[in-house]
Every structure is written in C-alpha cells, then in structure tokens.
C-alpha cells in the first residue's frame, strides 16, 4: 500500500485531503501539532490503518524525530502533501517582525524541514510525488498579507527548483493553488469570501473536493513535474 504524509492534516483542507487519499487507497500519515482531538477524530474516519504523528514543523529537530518515527513504524513514503500553513494579516508599515517570523517559520521553513527529513525516505521507497499547497496570494500578491504572500510565492520557486533536483530519483514535485476555500483560514471572514466570489469568473468559491481530486490525480502521474496548477477562477 502506498503511503501519503499530509502536513497540517487536522485542519480543514488537510482533513479533506486525508479522507480523499485514504479513499484512493493510500495509507495516510496524519501530521498535527496542537489539534490532537481533531487528529484523533480523523483517525477514526480513515480506513487504511492511518498513522498519527505530532511535530512543530518549524522546529528542525522535532521534524527529524517525526521522520525517524515514520521510518521505523512504516519504512516507506510515496507522497508528501505540504499543506500546513498559517497567516497573520497586516499592512507592512504596522507589521511586527514577530508576526513575519511566525508565518515564515511555518509556511516556508516548515516545508524545508519536512522535505529535508522525509525526502530520503521517499528516495529509498523508489520515488514518489511531492505536492506543495501554495496560494493565489503567492501568485499575484494580496494587500495586507505581505508575510503570507511572500511565503507562498517562495513555495513556487522551491517547487520548480526541487523538481529539477529530484527528477533523478523518480520524484515529481508540483504545486497546487486551491483558490479561496470556505473552510479553515478562508472561513474566517465573510467579507473576504464575498470579495473572492465577486472576483471569480465563475461567481463562486473553490470547492474542497476539486482540490482533493486534483491532488489525487497529480499523485498518480509520472510525467508531470515542476508545474503550478491553480483552481482559482480569476483572470
């Protein structure tokens, strides 16, 4: 059975991804940090012997220990979905350095820590796929989200560079931009949701199920790498 690690799996999109990949036949490794109750509930829903692992991904040593635990308990890994992320909004002139550090620590350093520690397991497993969840804010920018936009734009550069580095090992690396989702961080502001609807060509928000379908489809491809796929219906 193929094994998928979903970071931030206890969050809104992470839960949907975990359930979808479980349904597609993956054994899902559910990463969480603080939301142990949600992670335990998710484990009860998944059918393919899920594994729960806890770590602060911004901490390299914690992430290394999590990788060692996965290696000892399962010993293989075929898919990594870098989904964990946070945002703290604010205009640059009033934005505290501490907020910048917190957002970049999770959204960018956390991805580096995950890949640095888990890719060797994937190499030993014979290859696989890495899918990085980015954002429309990283593609076009967004007022009041300098840190979040910067972190998600960096993920796109990381995706393209890593695709070149890891191709020799049979590992594909792609990025997915889900668009504005009415769950998790996206559900926090009705005003923001209405604005996203107004900017949409299709006059609506993105659907979590579409993200799950795209990630599942990508995970099964062998000749697609270094690409950015967006479900955001804006021009």
Measured in degrees and rounded to the nearest 5, phi and psi for residue 207 equal: -105, 130
Q: Which helix (H) or strand (E) holds 80?
A: strand 79-82
Strands (E) in 99-219, as ranges, are 128-133, 171-177
CA distance 199 to 120: 42
108: which DSSP letter?
I
Cα–Cα distance, 73 to 67 (Å, whole number): 10
Active-site residues, by number, are 148
Sequence-separated (6 or more) residues with CB below 8 Å from residue 78: 2, 3, 4, 26, 122, 125, 127, 128, 129
Q: 20 and 215 in contact (C-beta within 8 Å)?
A: yes
| CB environment 141-163: b (16+ within 10 A), e (fewer) | ebeebbbbbbbbbbbbebbbebb
């Amino acid at each position: 059975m193929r094994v998928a690690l979903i970071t931030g799996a206890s969050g809104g999109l992470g839960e949907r991804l975990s359930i979808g990949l479980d349904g597609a036949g993956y054994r899902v490794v559910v990463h969480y940090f603080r939301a142990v109750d949600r992670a335990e509930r998710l484990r009860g829903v998944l059918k393919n012997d899920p594994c729960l692992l806890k770590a602060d991904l911004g901490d390299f040593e914690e992430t290394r220990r999590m990788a060692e635990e996965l290696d000892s308990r399962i010993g293989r890994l075929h898919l990594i979905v870098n989904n964990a992320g946070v945002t703290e909004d604010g205009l640059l002139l009033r934005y505290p350095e501490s907020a910048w550090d917190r957002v970049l620590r999770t959204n960018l350093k956390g991805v580096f820590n995950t890949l640095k520690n888990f890719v060797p397991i994937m190499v030993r497993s014979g290859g696989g796929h890495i899918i990085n969840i980015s954002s429309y804010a990283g593609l076009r920018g967004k007022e009041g989200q300098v840190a979040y936009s910067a972190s998600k734009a960096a993920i796109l550069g990381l995706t393209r560079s890593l695709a070149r580095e890891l191709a020799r090992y049979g590992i594909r690396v792609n990025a997915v931009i889900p668009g504005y989702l009415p769950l998790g961080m996206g559900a926090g502001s009705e005003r923001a949701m209405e604005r996203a609807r107004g900017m949409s060509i299709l006059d609506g928000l993105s659907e979590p199920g579409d993200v799950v379908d795209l990630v599942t489809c990508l995970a099964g491809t062998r000749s697609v790498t270094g690409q950015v796929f967006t479900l955001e219906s804006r021009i």
